[in-house]
Amino acid sequence: MKPFRGSFTQQEPIAEDAIEAAVEVLRSGRLHRYNSVAGETPAAAVLEAAFAAYQGARYCLACASGGYAMAIALRAAGLRPGETVLTNAFTLAPVPGAIAAAGGTPALVEITPDLVVDLDDLAHRFEATGSRFFLLSSMRGHLADMDAVAAVVARFGAVMIEDCAHTMGATWQGRKSGSFGLAGCFSTQTYKHLNAGEGGLLTSDDPEFMARAIILSGSYMLYGRHGAAPEPSVFETIRLETPNMSGRMDNLRAAILVPQLQRLSENIERWNERYRIVASGLAGCEGIVLPKRRDEEGFVGSSIQFLIPNVAPEAARAFVAAAGDLGVDLKWFGADEPVAFTSNHTSWRYMPAQSLPRTDAVLSGLFDMRLPLTFSAADCAEIAAIIRHCHAAVIGGRRR
Ligand SMILES: *Cc1c(COP(=O)(O)O)cnc(C)c1O
């Protein structure tokens, strides 16, 4: 079989209008978000206003990274040192890391084979821990039944913060991911849906929460220069009671994000075209299971996940190696040792050891692949064919 030659880490170039906006910021020399002249709205503030409007949120804060947005969101929500924060166990290392950064103790909740939080276990862990916080991670863009999640969180009087690193632009029954709890946290790191290299966006409708987050992010007394912030009066006491945890976004990053945001809806369509081609190419392969997507879910197919249930570890490793030999970059969540960006709870040893038998069973057969927009439709069909071929050769699946 002919190997695939494309690069799974190659995103599209930054478009010319964004490059021009970046050059303009560079020429001005005013890269710091508060370094503006009279009558000028700095790019960071423009981005905040634009993203708040996109999200349908009252407030938005641009900051240093998605992980940073989560950490200050937890603090701004009132997390006290040592308090337990629940989060679903299928997530990326920066999520428990953000809980640790905010002084909390992560406690992981089981997931279902559809890669979303297990609501019975969520209720069980709220009861067992008395936690006041749930950081929902819509990992790899899989949305749980958001109304049901919000109902469980409300039943325990807890606060929900959403990690939307892979659900920027995704919806549940037409409502944007990130709008179901107190706050939504987004990333503009290269491998997410907007690309500024690094960066984060935090949204909320709650004025006191957002005032605390803005002061935490390092606004000094310049919070009046934000693009989607609460009224200055809301900051009156908050500005003196809240530490400055310096983690702002600069105008250079913001400048390249504003034009990208205008193309996000179009790009979501393009990701989903690619997703559908790979998904249909795998759908007929016996032994490969695609997680169910509910009709209510409007997802962004910027990556694809599939399960080979009950695959033995040696077979999983051989399958990933065979695909790799043919140029297809698969990640496996069941490995003992973390590899590159991919890890699981067994290697997050700064937190208490977690018992997650159902999650472990899912992760042991879970494979993951990026779908950058630089791939054509033909590339996607070729990739699906290679995966089927490697599955047949290594795992012994038969075509239906
Ligand atoms: C990338 C990612 C993050 C962290 O975003 P950064 O901007 O890199 O800090 C958090 N959660 C998930 C699920 C991610 O994929």
For 45-75, write each residue's pLDDT tens digit.
999 999 999 999 999 999 999 999 999 999 9
HEC string for the chain: CCCCCCCCCCCCCCCHHHHHHHHHHHHHCCCCCCCCCCCCCCHHHHHHHHHHHHHCCCEEEEECCHHHHHHHHHHHCCCCCCCEEEEECCCCCHHHHHHHHCCCEEEEECECCCCCECHHHHHHHHHHHCCCEEEEECHHHCCCCHHHHHHHHHHCCCEEEEECCCCCCCEECCEECCCCCCEEEEECCCCCCCCCCCCEEEEECCHHHHHHHHHHCCCCCCHHHCCCCCCHHHHHHHHHHCCCCCCECCHHHHHHHHHHHHCHHHHHHHHHHHHHHHHHHHHCECCCECCCCCCCEECCCCEEEEECCCCCHHHHHHHHHHHHHCCCCCEECCCCCCECCECCHHHCCCCCCCCCHHHHHHHCCEEEEECCCCCCHHHHHHHHHHHHHHHHHHHCCCEC
Q: What is the pLDDT of residue 400?
A: 40
Confidence grade of residue 396 (pLDDT, cut at 50, 70, 90)? confident
Q: Residue 342 maps to which CATH number? A: 3.90.1150.10
Give residue-wise pLDDT tens across range 162-213: 999 999 999 999 999 999 999 999 999 999 999 999 999 999 999 999 999 9
Tell me which residue has its CA closest to atom 5 in ligand 1.
Answer: 66
State whether 184 and 139 are in the same domain: yes
- Asked if 80 and 91 sit in the same domain, the reply is yes
Task: Convert the pLDDT of each residue in 263-274 to its tens digit.
Answer: 999 999 999 999
Residue 355 lies in a domain: yes
Determine the distance separating the centroid of ligand 1 and the alpha carbon of 396, expressed in angstroms.
35
| pLDDT tens-place string over residues 338-372 | 999 999 999 999 999 999 999 999 999 999 999 99
Among 244, 262, 280, residue at a domain's last position? 262
Q: Which domain holds residue 318?
A: 264-399
12 Cα: distance to centroid of ligand 1 (angstroms): 19
Closest-CA residue, ligand 1 atom 15, reads 165
Is 299 contained in some domain? yes
- For ligand 1, which residues put their CB under 6 angstroms from it? 65-67, 91-92, 94-95, 137, 139, 163, 165-166, 187, 189, 200
Q: How confident is the model at residue 127 (pLDDT cuts 50, 70, 90)?
A: very high
**pLDDT tens figures, 231-245:** 999 999 999 999 999
Q: Ligand 1 centroid vs 20 CA: distance in angstroms? A: 27
- Kindly state whether residues 323 and 211 are assigned to the same domain: no
For ligand 1, the distance from its centroid to the CA atom of residue 163, given in whole angstroms, is 8
Atom 2 in ligand 1: residue holding the nearest Cα = 165
Residue 297, pLDDT score: 98
Confirm whether 49 is domain-assigned.
yes
278 and 174, same structural domain? no
Question: Does 247 lie in the same domain as 330?
Answer: no
pTM, two decimal places: 0.97
Q: How far is the CA of 92 from the centre of ligand 1 (A)?
A: 7
Query: Residues 23, 132: one domain?
Result: yes
Residue ending a domain, choose from 231, 262, 293: 262
